[in-house]
Amino acid sequence: MRELELLIIGSGPAGLCAAISAASSGAKVLILERSFQPGGQLIKQTHMFFGSERQYASHRGVDIADILLRRAAEFGDRIELMLNATAVGFYEDNVVTVLKDEKEYFKIKAKSIICATGAFEKSLAFPNNDLPGIYGAGAVQTLMNVYGVRPGNRVLMVGAGNIGVIVSYQLMQAGIQVAAVLDAAPRIGAYLVHASKLARMGVPILCSHTIKEAIGTDCLEAAVVCRVDQRFRPIPGTERRFDVDVMCVSVGLSPLNELLAMRGAAMRYVPQLSGTVPLRTVDCETSIPGIYVAGDASGIEEASSAMAEGYLAGLCAAAGLGHVPEDYGARRQEYLGQLEDLRSGPVGDRIRAGMKLSAL
Amino acid sequence: MRITQHPILNFDRGKELHFTFNGQPMTGYEGETVAAALHAAGVKVLAKSLNLHRPRGFYCAIGNCASCQMIVDGAPNVRTCITLLREGMRVETQEGKGKIK
């Protein structure tokens, strides 16, 4: 069994930043990534990020992945990246079992572990929601922006949050017609700058609307939507049919952190963070000493906060292993300050409330 | 179904690869997943559900949801959304749980 100092599970924005941060303190790191390419969901994000320069604002996500991977590569063998390697078990003695290339199955034991496993797109319950042609909005983003393949010809987008609205715009960039964007909420959840782009292109954004059913035999052929009242109940007689061959479901994400639950970390359902999350200290340490969490696995936020959490978790995990750099205090304050900035203002209300409920 | 012109992205497609889908010859490109290559060819039904045998397509594209599992080179339950296409691959629609040989 291979034994090492620091294991990071996931190579998205949180995992890569954690690795860079820990390695710059002097730790030796192994990153496990279940996909054949690193970068997590940054690789499909062609829109420019908001925020400050420290989180690469005004860069596209796909370019941020390249920047982070180049920085990680500068540490040479201090950061090892293992691709096609899925962590499938996490046990009391800090043994993680790994399935590599769908063939080899082996154990890794680490003194400290950072779980940066990201999130999963939520689905919605409606008749025929399993028809081919109905996808998570992020999945369609991958298909278009990474592989250059169109999901179909005409799309109905369910959900007018940031992902729904950004992906709708990207669908149009790929030459696909967007029939409408709908959201059960009475107003658009996305940042106005993104929603306005769609509105200017003439795409109807239907608030207080929900999906009633999908129609099709082998694949999606049409979708029926209807209005909802203030308590989100469908209003009979308001049905509208859209002939579409693609439906994207963009109704939020759930944290992926089953590994931490399996390890026995204290977990709690926190709606403000979009699901069950591990309790953690301000330094991202879970209820188990030496086990950290960073990014969407600790609650759904944005890639910018995932990066700041990654840097913080990497710094603190390395310090726990004895790698305390001279500027430890200053770096810690810097990352905590970045997170405070990102969670400030009315937009951050929900996250701040969630952080209180998940605080150790 | 392939995007040829895009305002931001350039798609440098790799070498052309040949594979079969339920015995039919197909082509795709190096560097793309099995599910992406099938989509580009207009194939959306990848499997049938366990009990009701309803058609299944791909849903998450991150290897998490199991909706895209197919039989690849005789092995069942391969997550085709995160499996790279290789020359000569035999890809088949999976009905039910599949058998491990």
A77-125: per-residue pLDDT in tens? 999 999 999 999 999 999 999 999 888 999 999 999 999 999 999 999 9
The reply to whether A35 touches chain B by the CB within 8 Å rule is yes
| Boundary (domain end) residue, out of A229, A249, A269 | A249
Both A168 and A286 in one domain: the answer is no
Q: Is residue B100 part of a domain?
A: no
Domain holding B88, by residue range, is 16-94
Q: Is residue B9 part of a domain?
A: no
- Average pLDDT of the segment spanning A211-225: 97
Rounded alpha-carbon distances, angstroms, from residue A82 to A7, A8, A72, A116: 11, 10, 13, 15
Interface of A with B in 3-32 (CB under 8 A): none
Domain holding A320, by residue range, is 2-120+253-357
The residue type at A297: A
3-state secondary structure of A329: helix
Both A10 and A62 in one domain: the answer is yes
Both A245 and A127 in one domain: the answer is yes
| Boundary (domain end) residue, out of A192, A219, A249 | A249
Main-chain dihedrals φ then ψ at residue A175, nearest 5 degrees: 85, 25
| Boundary (domain end) residue, out of A249, A271, A306 | A249
Both A288 and A336 in one domain: the answer is yes
The C-alpha atoms of residue A22 and residue A238 are separated, in whole angstroms, by: 56
Instruction: Locate the chain B residue with the closest alpha carbon to A176.
Output: B3
3-state secondary structure of A271: helix
Number of domains in chain A: 2
Both A98 and A149 in one domain: the answer is no
Q: CB–CB of B9 and A145 under 8 A?
A: yes
Q: Which residues of B touch A120 (CB under 8 A)?
A: 60, 62, 64-65
Both A132 and A145 in one domain: the answer is yes
How is A141-198 classified by DSSP, letter by letter?
HHHHHTT-B---SEEEEE--SHHHHHHHHHHHHTT-EEEEEEESSSS--S-HHHHHHH
Q: Is residue B68 part of a domain?
A: yes
A138-163 pLDDT tens trace: 999 999 999 999 999 999 999 999 89
Q: What is the ipTM of this complex?
A: 0.94
The reply to whether A254 touches chain B by the CB within 8 Å rule is no
Q: CB–CB of A143 and B45 under 8 A?
A: no
Q: CB–CB of A135 and B36 under 8 A?
A: no
Both A279 and A324 in one domain: the answer is yes
Both A216 and A289 in one domain: the answer is no
Q: CB–CB of B36 and A132 under 8 A?
A: no
Both A66 and A142 in one domain: the answer is no
3-state secondary structure of B93: coil
Both A137 and A234 in one domain: the answer is yes
Tokens encoding A136: 């998570």
Both A110 and A258 in one domain: the answer is yes
The residue among A134, A146, A124, A132 whose CA lies nearest residue A41 is: A146
CATH of residue B38 = 3.10.20.440
CATH of residue A51 = 3.50.50.60
Both A127 and A116 in one domain: the answer is no
User: Which of A46-60, A216-230, A337-351 has the weakest average pLDDT?
Assistant: A46-60
Instruction: Locate the chain B residue with the closest alpha carbon to A46.
Output: B8
A176 — pLDDT class (breaks 50, 70, 90) = very high
Number of domains in chain B: 1
Residue A55 has pLDDT above 80, yes or no: no
Torsional sign, CA A100, A105, A110, A112? positive
